[in-house]
Structure 1
């Protein structure tokens, strides 16, 4: 599903001493099946923006078109929209409540009024997609799992509802490096196997570099940059001016280039840096 946001503005507590403009004339287009990442510091407008896409917040002005339907229109039934747009909040494991993992993941599909067979199939598929073996985990309590496993259960609960768009707010927050990589791998897998449109909110440039098709940079309630990782991460001065940065490995590559190493400047992940450095070493050896 595609999303088009037009001139979106949101003001919290208008007309009071606490009035705050959280979104200021934001225009964004998200294409069907893309992996999109929103980056920006706390208070930049990221969380407010994603809550508009899911219909949890209503704009002060502007439009949100989901597959051509303006979800800000009063005639639109938001319960139907939310079946298509799944939202995973920060630390979703705190929302687990059932006695077994299977029951927790089945909660959402059950509320959709699906048959028992369909619910069972969706639970098994969602667990498989997030890397939890059905037979091994189905009868376990979600509270006996590690932090990363709990988060995968929470994500599986949303995935089992099979939304067309999946929004995740800081899904790797608080996890160790191994847990972060595992969650990102599973989300990327979701995009490919379900053909979902993914919108991920993140502070980590390293995470962004690994998964994004398109990046939107939020600052002071506005979207100030958007484009591919290659396009965004070449805007070093702009990113640094708003307190952001490029991935650490990119700074390393810039230093190596300054010292005369023939390495591509378009390196944003450790894997890309490794390939470039090995290529340079191979060329030096042949010389």
Structure 2
């Protein structure tokens, strides 16, 4: 599903001494099936923005179109919107509540009024996508598993609703390196299999550089950049001015060039730089 945002503005506590402009004239368009990385310093408006995309917050001004459907229209059923736009909050495991993993993942599909066979199939499919074995895990308590596994269960609960747009707010926050890598691999596999539109909110420049088709960079409620990772990270000085950084691998590439290595300007990931170094060594 595509997303089109026109002149979106959100003000907290309007007409009071505490008035704060959280979103200021946002205009963007996201194509069906794109993987978008959403980055910005704390307070940039990221969380406010994604909560507008499935109707959790109502805009003061502007419109949001999901596949040409204006979800800011007062006549629109937000329940129907949330069936199409799934939002995984930061630390989603705190929202787990059922006695078994299967029941927790099945909660959303069951509320859709689906028959039991369809619910079970959706649970199985969602668990497979997040790397959980159905027979081995379905009867376990979601409170007796590791933090990384809890995160997977929470994500599976949203995936089981089959949203055409999946928004993930810092899905790797607080996880150890293995748990983080596992979750990111699962998200990539979900995107490849489901062909859905994904918006990943992250503080990790390395993660978004590796996964995203385009990066939406926010600063003080405005869109600072909206372009490919390669183009966005060319603005290193400006990114640092607004409290962000570039992937560490770009610093390494710069130092290698200073040492006489012929390193491509297209470097974004560790895998990229490894290939470039090996190519240089072979040539020497």
Would you say same fold, with TM above 0.5? yes
The equivalences for 1:154-233 within 5 A come to 154-233=154-233
Task: Report if aligned partners of 1:10, 1:23 keep a CA contact under 8 Å in 2.
Answer: yes
Q: 1:186-206 CA distances to partner (integer Å, 9 max, x unpaired)?
A: 011111111110011111101
Question: Which residues of 2 match residues 135-154 of structure 1 at below 5 A?
Answer: 135-154=135-154
1:24-72 superposed Cα distances (whole Å, 9 cap, x missing partner): 0011111100110110011000000000001001111011010001111
TM-score normalised to structure 2 length: 0.99
Deviation at 1:265, TM superposition (A): 2.1
Structure 1, 259-268 or 5-14: larger mean CA deviation: 259-268
Structure 2 residue 278 is the aligned partner of structure 1 residue 278: yes
Indicate if the aligned counterparts of 1:254 and 1:265 stay in contact, CA closer than 8 A. Answer: no
- The gaps in structure 2 that reach 5 residues or longer are none
Q: CA RMSD in A?
A: 0.7
Separation in 1, partners of 2:68, 2:19? 32
Unaligned 5+ runs, structure 1: none
Q: Per-residue deviation at 1:210?
A: 1.6
Matched residues in 2 for 1:235 and 1:195: separation? Answer: 30
Partner of 2:97 in structure 1?
97
Indicate yes or no: 2:260 matched with 1:257: no
TM-score, scaled to structure 1? 0.98
Paired positions, count: 284
The equivalent of 1:119 in structure 2 is: 119
SS of the residue 2:123 aligns to:
helix
* Alignment partner, residue 74 of structure 1: 74
Map of 2:248 onto structure 1: 248
Stretches (4+) displaced over 6 A: none
1:3 alignment counterpart: 3
